[in-house]
Structure 1
Amino acid sequence: MSTLIVYGIPNCNTVKKARTWLEEQGLSYTFHDYKKQGVPADRLNDWIEQVGWELLVNRQGTTWRQLDEATKAGVVDKASACVLMLDKASVIKRPVVELEGKVLSVGFDDKRMSELASKLAG
């Protein structure tokens, strides 16, 4: 069976919730820590192709709110969003959960994760 990959930051509450949930379900995963391992540029491009840059840029988070207005206004397309996300990993909505190169989830939602678990078990 393929292993899930969970991308995020270990001290993020949403990432903690997702990791705890996966462990409680007995689902194995590999954790990719943006702070230690960086944002994988090749994966980021794939994520953008799969789910769109708009979903990946967390405009509700502290990192986004701390950006100056000119930087925020400059995030208008795939290229500008990619530059920002590679420079400031914390602006990526977390966690990104991936299996065999396919994005299964961005962020954490109990219902969505339950559906994923059913598919993985099934």
Structure 2
Amino acid sequence: MIFIYYPKCTTCINAKKWLDENGLPYTERHIKEKNPTAAEIKKWHKKSGLPLKKFFNTSGLVYRGLNLKEKLPNMSEEEMYDLLASDGMLVKRPLLITETSVLIGFKPKDWEEALLN
């Protein structure tokens, strides 16, 4: 599993703690130091089955600063992939990429269902 996170994010800290407490092995990836590429985001989006908008950190300063709430509805998927790849702070986190799923954000119940059952 790949755990993509931002170390100063409280939700990411809680997710990492949960993974450790449940003895689940993972590889860490700092989202600012190694931002996901457009190709990776596209692959994860397809694998997740979720709307692409779910990959955006809608509460982040960069998202708000770029006025993306207004702009996203008029963008193509390719433009959104490129935009997400341009700045790790635009990507919702944490992201957990497994062989079979992509988990966005941290909801312990969802992670438990996906990883422990």
TM-score, scaled relative to structure 1: 0.80
Q: Deviations over 1:56-96 (max 9, x none)?
A: 012222321222x3x55332331221121111211111111
What does 1:65-80 correspond to in 2, within 5 Å? 65-67=64-66, 69=67, 72-75=69-72, 76-80=75-79
TM-score, scaled relative to structure 2: 0.83
Give the partner amino acid of 2:27.
T
Q: Deviations over 1:4-62 (max 9, x none)?
A: 11112222211111111100111111111122222133221112223231110122223
The gaps in structure 1 that reach 5 residues or longer are none
Give the partner amino acid of 1:84.
L
- Residue-pair matches, total: 113
Secondary structure at the aligned position of 2:33 is classed as helix
* Same amino acid, percent of matched pairs: 26
Give the partner amino acid of 1:110.
P
Task: Look up the match of 1:23.
Answer: 20
Coordinate RMSD, CA, aligned: 1.8
Greater shift, 8-17 or 105-114, is seen at: 8-17
Question: In 2, are the aligned partners of 1:96 and 1:103 still within 8 Å (CA)?
Answer: no
